[in-house]
Amino acid sequence: MAAKKAAKKSAIKSAKPTQKIVDRSAEILKRLKVLYPVAICELTHENPFQLLAATILSAQCTDARVNMVTPGLFAEFPTAEKLAVADIARVEELVRSTGFYQSKAKNLIGMASAVVNRFDGVVPHEMEDLVTLPGVGRKTANVLRSVVFDLPGLAVDTHVGRLSRRLGLTKEEDPVKVEYELNKLFPPEDWGGFSLRLILHGRRVCDAKKPACHLCELHDICPFVSKR
């Protein structure tokens, strides 16, 4: 069973995109850069620790809600050292409105403890280190790498997954598989910017239930439009 999974994963990594998809992806990136000249992360933060905590809180929650919660959280626990020894009940109270507050509070304290005990209080930047932190998967790790460390990282959230499929860049549903396929289409220096711009486009134009195709600057090269 393990061998089959490994073979399948290898096949996904090695498969080459068609020239049509390569050309479309280049045009999509070009247009997104015009539409969104500045690729911004909408989670308010001042340092890697704050962005890491905010991204953990953003699971199944809007960035707007997280940005309402984090000022109070960081006022009481401004560093990993402070959060690592926090009373979990207090953290739960502070992050309750983001949903799944019990697991998020546990992950926040666990993340802070790991940063302090295993990384001397400094948030790591390597993927293999980041994903060992409680509450941190590849999406969160890629956000950190691309936004605060200026390293290659293509975060696949629900917006990136949805738009990538609608735009015909992938058929995959699993976020990690989507990430691997998108990585083949863009140079590493554009991974983070592409992800952030696609998220912005998903929030402002390509809604999950009511996409504004008539307003979309990508409508003429989007396979999804022709299917509606």
Residue 4 has pLDDT above 50, yes or no: no
Tell me what pLDDT residue 225 has: 80
Range name among 26-40, 62-76, 140-154, 212-226 with the lowest pLDDT average = 212-226
Catalytic residue among 104, 157, 177, 190: 157
pTM, to two decimals: 0.89
Tell me what pLDDT residue 228 has: 63
Catalytic residue among 104, 139, 177, 190: 139
Is there a catalytic annotation at residue 139?
A: yes
Give the rounded percent of residues in the chain with a pLDDT score beyond 90: 91
The CATH classification number of 48-147 equals 1.10.340.30
Which CA distances in Å does 228 have to 113, 144, 213, 222?
49, 36, 10, 11
Is there a catalytic annotation at residue 227?
A: no
Amino acid identity at 66:
V
H and E: helices and strands count for the chain = 13, 0
Domains of the chain, by residue range, sit at 17-40+152-227, 48-147
Q: Would you identify the CATH topology of the domain 17-40+152-227?
A: Endonuclease Iii, domain 2 (1.10.1670)
Q: What is the per-residue pLDDT across 17-42, written as a single tens digit (0 to 9) for each? A: 899 999 999 999 999 999 999 999 99
